[in-house]
A and B are shown apart, each in its own frame.
Chain A
């Protein structure tokens, strides 16, 4: 059976399954998208943000 047919039978055939897939997908997508954008943003600004230089001062305070 082709992939598209499987996909259709699994998710799209019943409207209830379709709609709940969308909502669950939206939730996971929100988390995943946030994580992806944040990791890209942190990589892009490596060494500039507070979280990158924080360790210097926290250790200094503890010693």
Chain B
């Protein structure tokens, strides 16, 4: 019993066998099928087994190297269904396919199910976008100036110690900063000048926050030398490197300098009489 069961399981019913007539039979193979008609073949192409020539397994006359040979199969070797021919091992279909029941997985309420699915997909997008945003911001933060640099970025200067008509040079972020306490005559001179015709036209009002205090970076806009104060043709600054002249408002008046002296960011602290640069 057990042996038969095992044999049944391993031995498959043949899917191709020879009929007693000698014709091979493949029940699942449609031998009558023809290739689709080829419109370009003009009737020459093979469109199936030729009907005018008998198949070789039928026997008959054939031409060989030794002349014509005639064969006729009197006793056809026949195979019974039980002489198995293991051509392939696919299981013959025995019954209707046994498909599991999936109804358990089906939602009862498609509307709320759909809304929930969209909600969850949306939530994932929301949280991901939020996390990605903070990741990018944190990464960009690492590119900004660090706390110890920022702590050095501001300089406080006590204005009370600078008398009228004097220059003071301080260091700020490694560069010199000119602070000029201008006299009334100098302010008038800077304001009355017709600045529209300058190479870099700027009015004195644009360059100072308080008229008596002129605060600017002491770096020549030509090639970065440090100009000398209270000299030059216009009573302002003179760059010794290539002879640029700046007036009492720090504007380029003569020489190769293309721009006026740069104004840094600064704020007055009136309560303590200080200026905070940076």
Is chain B's interface secondary structure helix, strand, loop, or mixed overall?
Answer: helix
Q: Are B122 and A5 in contact (CB under 8 A)?
A: no
Q: Are B112 and A18 in contact (CB under 8 A)?
A: no
Question: Is B115 an interface position by the 8 A CB rule?
Answer: yes
Q: Are B115 and A22 in contact (CB under 8 A)?
A: no
> B128-136, B229-237, B263-271: which one contacts chain A?
B128-136
Q: Are A8 and B126 in contact (CB under 8 A)?
A: no
| A side interface size, CB within 8 A | 18
* Chain B residues packing against A (C-beta within 8 Å): 109, 111-112, 114-116, 118-119, 122, 125-127, 129-130, 133-134
The 8 closest A-B pairs by CB, nearest first: A4-B115, A26-B129, A4-B112, A12-B118, A22-B125, A26-B130, A25-B126, A8-B115
27 pairs from A and B in contact (CB 8 Å cutoff): A2-B111, A2-B112, A4-B111, A4-B112, A4-B114, A4-B116, A5-B111, A7-B119, A8-B111, A8-B114, A11-B122, A12-B118, A12-B119, A18-B122, A19-B125, A21-B122, A22-B122, A25-B126, A26-B126, A26-B127, A26-B129, A26-B130, A27-B133, A29-B126, A30-B130, A30-B134, A33-B130
Q: Known contacts A22-B129, A26-B133; can you find 10 more A-B pairs with CB under 8 A? A: A5-B115, A7-B115, A12-B115, A22-B126, A25-B126, A26-B127, A26-B130, A27-B133, A29-B127, A33-B130
